Amino acid sequence: MEKENNLQTLAQYSTIQIGGTADNIFAPATRDELCSIIKEYTSRNLLFIGGGSNLLLPPVIDGSVVLDVNLPRVLDCVGTQVTVSSNYPIGSLLRQLMPQNIGGLEFLAGIPAHIGGLVKMNAGAWGESIGQFISSVLVINNEGEIEEITAESIEFGYRTSNIPGYILEVTLELKEIGANEIEQRFRKILAHRNESHPLDTPSLGCFFKNLVDDEGNKTSAGKLIDDCGLKGTRIGGATVSNSHANFIINIQNATYEDVTELSYLIQNTVLNQTGVLLEPEVIIIQGREV
Ligand SMILES: Cc1cc2nc3c(=O)[nH]c(=O)nc-3n(C[C@H](O)[C@H](O)[C@H](O)COP(=O)(O)OP(=O)(O)OC[C@H]3O[C@@H](n4cnc5c(N)ncnc54)[C@H](O)[C@@H]3O)c2cc1C
């Protein structure tokens, strides 16, 4: 089993550019290798990293890590049915599908994520989420065996899914849309993100979940944080973005502790001023003392 020895730090695999080491950092090149790693290491705490755009990684991870960087990238289209490997970056997928007049996922344009992570998190924007396009997924279970799970057995929630194991491949039912229309949608979404998000500084996107009540009414976490006057609040190298209050950005060599302390400060301030306890959307991986 190949272990990746050249990866000094995991910071390069998280979009906020924070992260340290782990017991083992695996970057398998084949499915067989990946199956063996999962079978052997799942019981000893194994973290899967895709695009790393939703993961806050500690200096030392208590367990091992699997990266998807060396796995083969697969894309197969039959009409509007698209089967794609989990390590495909969403931007590359959208660019591949556009000239084939296959669309539907433009709302995800501009997100620095891979398909596996997007599906696991049921990522979404502007009222749409990727789960609604899923026909089936191919996963590697904890025994290291590959199995298919169809959409009927999957529960997608707000930024959650109950898909077990490692997502290897995803089959999506997309829409036939003219390439020009797709491109227009694509540009509109990118323009909107560029206007409202601090995309030139490392971050994990929205740090806290928006609130949704039983009637489906939404309260923006960003607005609550903004209303509490927290824009620009800084701890170490981590700051609450001035352009979008729900983004914690790494402006100067921020550490894991800087970000977690700032997130507690935000939570406590919002709780004290509004009575609302914000729940992180970002996954904060617990570390181990060295
Ligand atoms: C600039 C920016 C903008 C963003 N905008 C949005 C947005 O509009 N909407 C939104 O929903 N999110 C957004 N995000 C957050 C993030 O992109 C999503 O949560 C996304 O789903 C994470 O995908 P990823 O590949 O980066 O996953 P990672 O961060 O690598 O992992 C996320 C979770 O998925 C698991 N995982 C990853 N790959 C696999 C796999 N193959 N099999 C099983 N589990 C896996 C990980 O273990 C982890 O639990 C944004 C982030 C950034 C930085």
Shortest-distance Cα residue to atom 50 of ligand 1: 205
Average confidence score pLDDT of the chain: 95
% of the chain surpassing 90 pLDDT: 90
CATH topology of domain 10-67: 3.30.43
Is residue 219 within 8 A of residue 204, CB to CB? The reply is no
The answer to whether the CB of 172 is under 6 A from ligand 1 is: no
What residue spans in the chain does CATH classification 3.30.465.10 cover? 75-181
The answer to whether the CB of 205 is under 6 A from ligand 1 is: yes
What residue spans in the chain does CATH classification 3.30.43.10 cover? 10-67
Token pair 């995309």 is found at 199
What's at 149, amino acid-wise?
A: I
Distance 66 CA to ligand 1 centre (A): 15
According to the model, what pLDDT value does residue 290 have?
A: 72
According to the model, what pLDDT value does residue 289 have?
A: 79
DSSP, residue by residue, 221-285? HHHHHHHTT-TT-EETTEEE-SS-TTEEEE-SS--HHHHHHHHHHHHHHHHHHHS----BSSEE-
Shortest-distance Cα residue to atom 10 of ligand 1: 123
Whole-model pTM?
0.95
According to the model, what pLDDT value does residue 216 have?
A: 79
Residue from 17, 31, 46, 48 to probe ligand 1 pocket by mutation (most atoms less than 8 Å from CB): 48
pLDDT digits (tens, 9 = 90+) for 239-276: 999 999 999 999 999 999 999 999 999 999 999 999 99
- Asked whether the predicted pLDDT for residue 144 surpasses 70, the reply is yes
According to the model, what pLDDT value does residue 34 have?
A: 98
Comparing 114 with 3, the larger pLDDT belongs to 114
Q: Is 119 left (phi over 0), alpha (psi -120 to 50) or beta?
A: alpha
Is residue 126 within 8 A of residue 107, CB to CB? The reply is yes
Q: Locate the ligand 1 atom nearest the alpha carbon of residue 204 and give its number.
A: 53
Shortest-distance Cα residue to atom 9 of ligand 1: 124
The answer to whether the CB of 49 is under 6 A from ligand 1 is: yes
What's at 167, amino acid-wise?
A: I
Residue from 41, 47, 69, 111 to probe ligand 1 pocket by mutation (most atoms less than 8 Å from CB): 111
The answer to whether the CB of 121 is under 6 A from ligand 1 is: yes
What residue spans in the chain does CATH classification 3.90.78.10 cover? 199-284
Burial (CB count <10 Å: 0-12, 13-18, 19+), residue 200 = exposed
pLDDT tier at 212 (50, 70, 90 boundaries)?
confident
Contacts of residue 204, defined as CB under 8 A and 6 or more positions apart, other chains included, come to 14, 15, 16, 53, 54, 55, 56, 248, 282
* In CATH, 75-181 is 3.30.465.10: yes
Which DSSP symbol is given to 12?
G
Which DSSP symbol is given to 208?
B
Q: How far is CA 118 from CA 112, 114, 275, 288, in A?
A: 10, 6, 31, 27
**Domain formed by 199-284, architecture:** Alpha-Beta Complex (3.90)
The answer to whether the CB of 55 is under 6 A from ligand 1 is: yes
pLDDT digits (tens, 9 = 90+) for 24-61: 999 999 999 999 999 999 888 999 999 999 999 999 99
Residue from 25, 46, 54 to probe ligand 1 pocket by mutation (most atoms less than 8 Å from CB): 54
Comparing 34 with 9, the larger pLDDT belongs to 34
Pairing of strands 238-240, 247-250: antiparallel
pLDDT tier at 213 (50, 70, 90 boundaries)?
confident
Q: Locate the ligand 1 atom nearest the alpha carbon of residue 129 and give its number.
A: 11
pLDDT digits (tens, 9 = 90+) for 64-109: 999 999 999 999 999 999 999 999 999 999 999 999 999 999 999 9
Distance 52 CA to ligand 1 centre (A): 6
pLDDT digits (tens, 9 = 90+) for 148-198: 999 999 999 999 999 999 999 999 999 999 999 999 999 999 999 999 998
d(CA 184, CA 226): 31
